[in-house]
Amino acid sequence: MTLAGKKIVILGAGRSGRAAAALALREGGAVSVYDEAETISGFADAVSLYPDATVDNGANVVCDLLIVSPGIDTYGPLVRAFSQHAGEVMGEMEFAWNYFPGFTIAITGTNGKTTTTEIISQILNVSGISCVPCGNYGKPLAEVVMELPMPEVISLEASSFQLETIQRFKPQVAVWLNFAPDHMDRYPTVESYRLAKLRMFENQDASCVAIVRAGETLPPLAAKVVTFSTEDTESNWTSNGIIIEHEGCEILHVEKDTCLRGLHNAENIMAAVAACEVLGRPLDLKAAFADYVPPPHRCELVRTLDGVEYLNDSKATNLHALESALRSQTRPVVLIAGGKEKGLDYRPVIPLLQQKAIAAVSFGQIAEPLGAVLQQGVTTTIVHTLEEAVTAARKLAPRGSTILFSPGTSSFDMFSGYEHRGTTFRNLVQELH
């Protein structure tokens, strides 16, 4: 893309916006940044800053290219207003990808994206192939393409928000982990959310590879399809949660070779290794997993107290993640769930809750309606705060059980993000005596 002499407007002044502004400046664009915040900082002097952005002033902005940060609703009134007099509209990920000449492995799915993105980067770097995890996780891609030297490979976590605005984005490898309803506070229907994610495949052709969880409902794909599964033994990659096999050959022993556990993590491992294999380079899997520590807030063991395990799964911001965490447990569970109202239907979790849990505690903005649903499966206590939830769960958990903090919704009713929520849970548990 040639930006010299062009007017570039960036909507959103967060990390992605700052990275996009720096890249646009490097490429010769005249850059302006708009944000709804009262103040904007952290940009080069050459960038024009416009805080307090509104629909009214956006409708008067004229530009050659509008770059939208992923946290801003692509279909919302603000983007519609700024798009009226924009020659072209794209997201930060698509914009930056135009300047990356290397090999792209893109990962999407409702759950497991971050773990898989990290594992891919870990395997490749340990094997002597430079790779940076980026996109919706880690660095914005615009930061990566400004690094010297650039990595050979990017392990790119791609959210539905980032995929909404792609035009030319064409990953050599596209990984589809799973799909379940989520973000119903942003999308009008489940199908519109699914279609946004499916855009990852639309520019792929026969020279590309699509790595797909067996059993997923996908349209016909132009790329070569490689499947993985913990259920379908006919898949290219299979696992029982302990052994990873490829075409019938053992590749990895999950319990001996990694610190990851559960069927969902076996699927993440298979998808990651399959993606790395596409490069056709020698991989040192044993060394890669020996050094790998999974990201926090994903079924993280906080401590064992009085024979009870406390697991922090704050990253579970939707029903599918909650179900995955429940399904992977082998001890009786006291579930702590709750947070922001996202318009999700939690009734499908009831059979699994009855199978895995002995009690539940709901908290947060959604405490009462969620508690009413969980009550249909197990005895449920309804509280307001996370501190109250930990106290209540401890009283309900006998020796030999697990207190599973897997909220099943987002954290923004009480916390700045799932990390803040998970850290708060971890601190509360550590303070127990």
Tokens of 109: 């799915």
Locate the DSSP E strands across 41-159: 48-50, 63-68, 86-91, 103-108, 131-135, 153-157
β-partners of residue 246 are 237, 249
| Distance (Å, whole) CA 267 – CA 255 | 14
* Confidence band of 407 (pLDDT split at 50, 70, 90): very high
Is the pLDDT reported for residue 184 higher than 60? no
Tokens 């590309």, located at residue: 208
Mean pLDDT for 104-133 is: 95
User: Residue 330: its pLDDT value, please?
Assistant: 73
**pLDDT value, residue 181:** 58
pLDDT in the model for residue 185: 62
| CATH 3.40.1190.10 domain residues, the chain | 100-290
Kindly report the pTM of this predicted structure: 0.78
Query: Two tokens at 61?
Result: 């902005």
Tokens standing for residue 208: 């590309």
Task: Please tell me what DSSP assigns to residue 295.
Answer: P
300-430 CATH pick, 3.40.50.300, 3.40.1360.10, 3.90.1150.10, 3.90.190.20: 3.90.190.20
* pLDDT: which is higher, 213 or 262: 213
CA separation for the pair 349, 366 (Å, rounded)? 16
The whole-angstrom separation of Cα 175 and Cα 52 is 38
pLDDT top residue among 298 and 41 = 41
Distance in angstroms (rounded) separating the CA atoms of residues 413 and 405:
16
Whole-angstrom distance, CA of residue 133 vs CA of residue 118: 6
- Is the pLDDT at 186 greater than 80? The verdict is no
Residue with tokens 């770059």: 67
The better pLDDT of the pair 273, 137 is held by: 273
Is pLDDT of 67 > 70? yes
Q: Predicted confidence band at 343 (pLDDT cuts at 50, 70, 90)? A: confident
Give me the percent of the chain exceeding a pLDDT of 90. 79
Average the pLDDT over 50-56 and give the result: 96
Q: Is the pLDDT of residue 262 over 80?
A: no
Q: In CATH, what class is 100-290?
A: alpha beta
- Cα–Cα distance list, 62 to 41, 42, 69, 87, 136 (Å): 23, 24, 18, 8, 28
Average pLDDT over residues 94-105: 97
**Within the chain, which residue ranges are assigned CATH 3.40.50.720?**
7-93
Chain Cα centroid distance, residue 182: 11
Q: Which of 320, 318, 321 is nearest to 299 (CA)?
A: 321
User: DSSP labels for 212-237?
Assistant: EETT------SSEEEEEESS-TTSSE
pLDDT at 381: 98
* Terminal C-alpha separation, the chain: 60
pLDDT of res. 179: 84
Across the range 302-308, mean pLDDT stands at 92
| Confidence class for position 312, pLDDT limits 50, 70, 90 | very high
- The CATH class of the 7-93 domain is alpha beta
**375-404: pLDDT as tens digits:** 999 999 999 999 999 999 999 999 999 999
Compute the average pLDDT of residues 233-238.
96
Q: How far apart are CA 295 and CA 288, in angstroms?
A: 15
Residue 183, pLDDT > 70, answer no
Angle at which helices 113-126 and 263-277 cross, to 10°: 50
What percentage of the chain reaches a pLDDT higher than 70? Answer: 99
Annotate 136-186 with DSSP letters as a single string. SSSB-HHHHTTSSSPPSEEEEE--HHHHTT-SS---SEEEE-------TTT
Angle, alpha carbons 189-195-196 (nearest 5°):
95
Cβ atoms of residues 111 and 180 within 8 Å: yes
* Integer Cα distance of 61 and 81 in angstroms: 9
User: Using CA atoms in the order 305, 308, 313, 314, what is the torsion angle rounded to 10 degrees?
Assistant: -60
Say if CB 410 and CB 418 are below 8 A apart: yes
Region of 230 (left: φ > 0; alpha: ψ -120 to 50; beta: rest) is: alpha
Q: Are residues 377 and 394 in contact, defined by beta-carbon separation less than 8 angstroms?
A: no
